[in-house]
Every structure is written in C-alpha cells, then in structure tokens.
A = this chain, B = another copy of it.
Amino acid sequence: MMKLSRSLLRSRKLSSDKLFAGKADDVGDALWSKSYSSLASLSTARQNAGAKGRVFAPYSVYKGKAALSVDPVLPTFAKLDSGDLRVQRKGVIMLTFWPAIGERKYDWARKQHFGLSPTEVGSLISMGPKESSEFFHDPSMLSSNAGQVRKSLSIKALADGNGYFVSLNVVNNLLKTTERFVVPVTTAEFTVMKTACSFALPHLMGWDQLTNPLPVASNKSSSKVDRESFDLEWER
C-alpha cells in the first residue's frame, strides 16, 4: 500500500501538466501500468509481444462515483509436442472499476477487476439499446475458497435508451467486505466499447493468427485426404 501510494505520486508527477488541466484520464493510465506490473500473469501475452514491451491502451470513462476502464488482454498459447501451438488461456476484455474519492480524484488502490470471456463479450456486443445483461464470476471457483468471493456485473439500459448503468458488485466473505461501483455510460461511450470489443474478439480467441504470410499449397496430400478435403472447398 505504502509502495503503491509512492508509485502513485511518481505517476502524478509524470503527467502533472495534464493534472493542472484537471484531466483525470492520465492518472488512471499511469496507475494502470503499475497495477499490471503487479499482475504479471495478466500481461503475459503482451510481455511476449516482441521487443516493444507491453502496451497499455485502456479506454477509461470517469464519472461522479467511480471510473471504469476497458482493456483487452491477449490469449496465451502452449506449444504442443508437434511443435504446433494451441490457445492455452483465452483472452478477455478486462473491466476495471475504481471509486471516486473527491472532485476528479479516484482511488486506484481499491480497484476491482472483471474479465469478460469471449462468450460474455458476445453477449455485450449483441445488446440492443433497451436490453440488459448480468454476469456472475467466482474468482476462486475451483479452489478451497470457492464461493467466498462473488462478483456480479450488471449492464442495465436507461429507460430512454440513451445509455446504460454499468455496475459491479463484489461480496468478499473472507475480508467481510461488500463493494459496489456504478458507472453511467452514454450511448457514445458504449458504442466505443462495443466497436472496440468486436474488433478485439477475434484476437481474444486467437483467430487474428489468420493474418499470416502468404500460404502456398503443399503437394504432399494423399488422394484419400484429397477426397476428404474436397467437401471443404465445395461451393453450392
């Protein structure tokens, strides 16, 4: 905690000019990187994203009672005996909530995460202007602590269809705490989230690996395989 707040000051200095502008945005972004360095496994995918290191590009909205950040986390891959790769851990859209503690001040130390799986992303991007969704996670689902921490995310359309209430509830029986964050999101902001999540979805699934160097057909395929593969290319 002490450590966090120190890094917090450092971050503030980093973007002090922006702070004079009363721009909270960059605080979040700066803190963000801190939070990640304490979540090594989250950023594994990026860690390996080549020489350029990790990239932090959260989409953040700051409202009266809390802030909400949306950030993609890439999948990880495992090498098979064959030398091929398969998706080991699917990517997620990481939602992070942290509370307001005053005029344009937010307490990043009290942040809570909620990672949307590809299917949950599918549910979000298919929401109409009048629809609502709710998701439940148990972070310790398969451990001895199963059931001790319950997270629920709710996305409720506003009556007038001009936005949503996005709220996260975290009940922690171990720490005997209950936290609730509510962030009103405009249609414009939700459209950014939907568009960016639709863009990210194939990447979370590992399908962006489709964009590879130009493949050329090998000729080493037995006639049996040819027959079997024919229906693949058959067009009606």
Q: Which of B53, B89, B198, B235 contacts A232 (CB 8 A)?
A: B89
Quick one: closest B residue to A221, CB to CB? B41
Q: Which residue of B lies closest to A81 (CB)?
A: B10
B48 contacts A215, CB within 8 Å? yes
Interface residues of A, dominant DSSP: mixed
| A117-B77 CB under 8 A given contacts A40-B225, A229-B42 | no
Which listed residue (B21, B37, B217, B230) contacts A77, Cβ 8 A?
A: B217
When the two chains form their complex, are residues A230 and B33 in contact, meaning their CB atoms are under 8 A apart?
no
Ranked nearest first, the 6 interchain pairs of A and B with the lowest CB-CB distance are A57-B206, A76-B217, A123-B188, A122-B192, A139-B231, A122-B191
Q: Which of B54, B74, B210, B231 contacts A208 (CB 8 A)?
A: B210
When A55-B84, A196-B202 are in contact, do A210 and B41 touch as well, CB less than 8 Å? no
Chain A to chain B contacts (Cβ below 8 Å), 14 pairs: A21-B142, A30-B80, A52-B212, A72-B207, A73-B232, A74-B212, A85-B214, A113-B231, A118-B235, A122-B191, A139-B231, A141-B234, A199-B201, A200-B207
Is B189 a contact partner of A119 (Cβ separation < 8 A)? yes
The reply to whether A227 and B143 contact each other, CB–CB distance below 8 Å, is yes
Please encode chain A, from 12 to 43, with 1 for each CB lying within 8 Å of some chain B CB and 0 for all others.
00100000111001000110110011011110
A56 at the interface (CB under 8 A from B): yes
Q: Which residues of B are found within 8 Å of A32, using beta-carbon distances?
A: 86
Number of chain A residues close to chain B: CB under 8 A: 116
| Chain A residues proximal to chain B, CB less than 8 Å | 10, 14, 20-22, 25, 29-30, 32-33, 36-37, 39-42, 44-50, 52-57, 59, 72-90, 92, 94, 113, 115, 117-123, 125-126, 135-143, 151, 186-192, 195-196, 198-203, 205-218, 220-222, 225-236
